[in-house]
Amino acid sequence: MKRFKEKPVIVTGAGSGIGRATAIRFAEEGARVVLVGRTAETLEETAKEFPQDRTWIHTDNSLAITCDISVKSQVQAMIEQAIEKFENIDILVNNAGKAMQGKITDLSAEDWTSAIDVNLNGTFYVSQAVMPHLIATKGSIINVSSLSGMGGDWNMAAYNAAKAGVTNLTRTLALDHGPDGVRVNAVNPSVTKTAMSSAIQDNDNKTDKFLARCPLGRLATPEDIAAAITFLASDDAAMITGVNLPVDGGVSASNGQPQF
């Protein structure tokens, strides 16, 4: 099923993890995908995973753009390049993010600023730059927030604050631009099998402790998150906006008590 046939889709952080899985899923469903990331080589690796049987749409249906989304001028240039290539934009997936561990007593000002710049400011810059084009197409935004943006974690002050900002920005954009015909939603994953998650899952049984609280008993895969993203972007979700959807195996269903 080609739910996104010929629709231009921008995916930030498309070089790995959730972004890569999402870009591939959109390509499999017929989209024209703009791959955005900081490293050209990883974007090229993602593009190699696209299905090769879609010449019935276009022979040149993807575009890779290197861009640091925390730099507003680079974001504007990226959007201009995407429009020059595909003329319009139907869907934006704000996926690029950065993990950051530490209590506020451990974090430097540079650490804090870096977490906010990539996770929150980058989401703002890209959404702001693309919004006029989404209004024209009655398109949608899907932000990749986090379960950490819906509640606190130990030792994750900067990341929690940044993702909480993304969570509430999602709601506000939905309110402000629903009358324009633009839907804005977020997925809020918990621990997912990505390189970023692995970097903060140390050797003191953190994964085992997480799985003990997860009703489904496993970590999410990037493909699990991509499935939720593409659902929210599709016409099947035409009446859904302002939602922050936990994709967490049921972790957020618990009030934190241990199993008796």
Q: How many angstroms separate the Cα of 145 from the Cα of each of 4, 44, 108? A: 23, 25, 23
Alpha helices per DSSP H over 61-185: 72-86, 109-116, 122-137, 157-177
Q: How far, in Å, CA of 4 to CA of 30, rounded?
A: 5
Mapping DSSP to helix (H, G, I), strand (E, B) and coil, where does residue 245 land?
strand
- For residues 197, 144, 13, 91, the Cα torsion angle rounded to the nearest 10 degrees is 160
Q: By C-alpha distance, which of 115, 139, 114, 122 is closest to 67?
A: 122
Starting at the edge strand that comes first in sequence, how are the strands of the sheet with 140-144 ordered?
Answer: 62-66, 32-37, 8-12, 91-94, 140-144, 183-189, 244-247
Placement of tokens 């957020």 in the chain:
252
Q: How far, in Å, CA of 67 to CA of 129, rounded?
A: 14
Of 134, 159, 220, 251, which one is the catalytic site residue?
A: 159
Q: Is the dihedral of CA 215, 216, 222, 226 positive or negative?
A: negative
- In the residue annotation, 125 being an active-site residue is answered as no
Q: How far apart are the first and last CA of the chain?
A: 44
Q: List active site positions.
A: 159
